[in-house]
Amino acid sequence: MIYIILSICCSVTVAILLKLAKRYQISIIQAVTVNYLAALILCFLFLKPDVSLVTTSAPWPNYIALAILLPSIFLFLAASVKNLGIVKTDIAQRLSLFIPILAAYFIFKEDFNNFKIIGLAIGFAAIILTFLRKSDKKDDKGNLLYPIMVFVGFGVIDVLFKQIALYKDLPYTTSLFTVFCLSFIVSLLIVIVMVISGKIKLQLVNVACGLILGFFNFGNILFYMKAHKALAENPSTVFAAMNLGVIIVGTLIGVIAFKEKLSKLNYAGIVLAIAAVIFITLSQNAVR
């Protein structure tokens, strides 16, 4: 579980940095581009990937899909916040847990014991309650494309990383390096197109933000993949514990650091989330 805890810490830090970036008018796409450059450099220096092992037999469909999804999802995330607000976007992102959980059962053929079923049921309720917010504004009934893309995107990304972690013929560190390289290329192309079209202007401050973001993003993905390696027989444990852990830690930091107000339903959601993590953890040692 140590890898899951480390991944949660890195993930929450990334979320905090993105929130601060919005406050200080940082270009998300520029920071994300530098982030992938920093991540692939860290991967090369510390993990020593053997690029010569990457052949035509490698899982290129997964690599290419991740290379497109990883940078693109940040754009949909920003668009969703702009059109439907942070609340609905957060709910869409966390509810993406449904996709990898279903994949764990239907694709990875994982058996679900009673502890895990109870934990997941409580967890789904916890996700909804934790992110319920009171709003003085009427619900925006505009285009639902952006939150749907956030929901599907994060869910599919989880599944793709799981498949790469289980690929036996290629070290996952080499796969990770390949994904970072391709993601950097895709995000760089997006930046070039946006600069040429006049939508954004290049600024050096985004480089500094991107370097910091890349450090924690690298740690988040690395530990997440290590968790899947360590718990190869229980992918739903990693899926659920990671998402619920981010909810708990993220909510606590939101209350303490950003002075966000929580309702009684929100606190009930936190309690349920903790209970869900306990049940899912117990399912590890339960007899099927």
| pLDDT tens digit sequence for 77-88 | 767 766 665 656
* The 3-state secondary structure of the chain, one letter per residue: CHHHHHHHHHHHHHHHHHHHHHHCCCCHHHHHHHHHHHHHHHHHHHHCCCHHHCCCCCCHHHHHHHHHHHHHHHHHHHHHHHHHHHHHHHHHHHHHHHHHHHHHHHCCCCCCCHHHHHHHHHHHHHHHHHCCCCCCCCCCCCCCHHHHHHHHHHHHHHHHHHHHHCCCCCCHHHHHHHHHHHHHHHHHHHHHHHHHCCCCCCCCHHHHHHHHHHHHHHHHHHHHHHHHHHCCCCHHHHHHHHHHHHHHHHHHHHHHCCCCCCCHHHHHHHHHHHHHHHHHHHCCCCCC
Domain assignment present for residue 287? The answer is no
Domain assignment present for residue 139? The answer is yes
Q: pTM (2 decimals)?
A: 0.75
Instruction: Return the pLDDT at 222.
Output: 77
| Mean pLDDT computed over every residue of the chain | 80
Instruction: Return the pLDDT at 74.
Output: 79
Domain assignment present for residue 288? The answer is no
Kindly state the average pLDDT of the residues 201-226: 87
Domain count, the chain: 1
Instruction: Return the pLDDT at 140.
Output: 45
pLDDT at 15 > cutoff 60:
yes
Domain that holds residue 201: 2-282
Instruction: Return the pLDDT at 131.
Output: 62
Domain assignment present for residue 146? The answer is yes
pLDDT at 65 > cutoff 90:
yes
